[in-house]
Copies of this chain bind each other. A is one copy, B any other.
């Protein structure tokens, strides 16, 4: 944003696995939101990062919080249906008004992502310790800067095609898995005045959000999604002839 020194990021996490499964809690002692937040602050020390979770009132995503957020990141898995529809509509409205959105991994089935894309966002999956390789297919894209080609993730859940999304505006990364599957793992979408980045690596069952390259991509994606203009929702205008003269 013009003249703003630091970006304001809200890291949203369902936070159900961490609070109900010991293994996940040990893997992510600060929650997945804590790991994601630290990825952002490690790369953007000037960023103002807050976190919010499902259990918070209004899931921590009040009008005030969203109005004060340049980029929202989203992680959910088990409890997509527990997210209140009013909050989903609010997030969608803020994205269309210009707020950036970074959707992570199983967030592909979140209400927010599906409402913004309009498709089922279904895919193939397998949770069996595949190795994932993340290849850059748009090497000059800002989100790919400083990222190895390929990123090697030793153990990961497999996400495979067909991934039912609209053709992305930009395809940045394609992953392969040791089982042979491929996945469009880094995709951008412009919706309304907002920018959306979907990035699939990351799972509660593996320490992917501690992986240096994954953290770099998330930090790049957040920076890329920062709004370029004042927030406003595209509106219906009745224009008299010659209105622009």
Contact = CB atoms under 8 A, between A and B. Distances in A.
A228 interface: yes
A210 interface: no
A175 B180 contact: no
A152 to B, nearest CB: 7
Contacts of A150: 180, 244
Nearest to A158: B239
Nearest to A193: B140
A195 interface: yes
Contacts of A136: 161-162
A120 B184 contact: no
A181 B239 contact: yes
A176 interface: yes
Copies of the polypeptide in the assembly: 4
A46 B177 CA distance: 42
Nearest to A141: B228
Contact of A190 (B149, B167, B227, B240): B167
A interface, over-half SS: loop
A174 to B, nearest CB: 5
A107 to B, nearest CB: 14
B242 A179 contact: yes
B182 A182 contact: yes
A229 to B, nearest CB: 6
B192 A238 contact: no
A150 B123 CA distance: 14
Contacts of A194: 140
Nearest to A113: B118
Interface string A86-100: 000000100010100
A124 B237 contact: yes
24 contacts: A119-B191, A119-B192, A120-B235, A124-B236, A125-B236, A126-B240, A128-B241, A133-B181, A135-B181, A140-B193, A140-B194, A142-B228, A145-B229, A149-B161, A152-B244, A160-B239, A164-B192, A164-B234, A167-B169, A171-B171, A176-B176, A179-B241, A179-B242, A181-B239
Interface of A: 2, 92, 96, 98, 109, 115-120, 122-126, 128, 130-131, 133, 135-142, 145, 149-150, 152, 158, 160-164, 166-167, 169-171, 174-182, 184, 189-195, 227-229, 233-242, 244-245
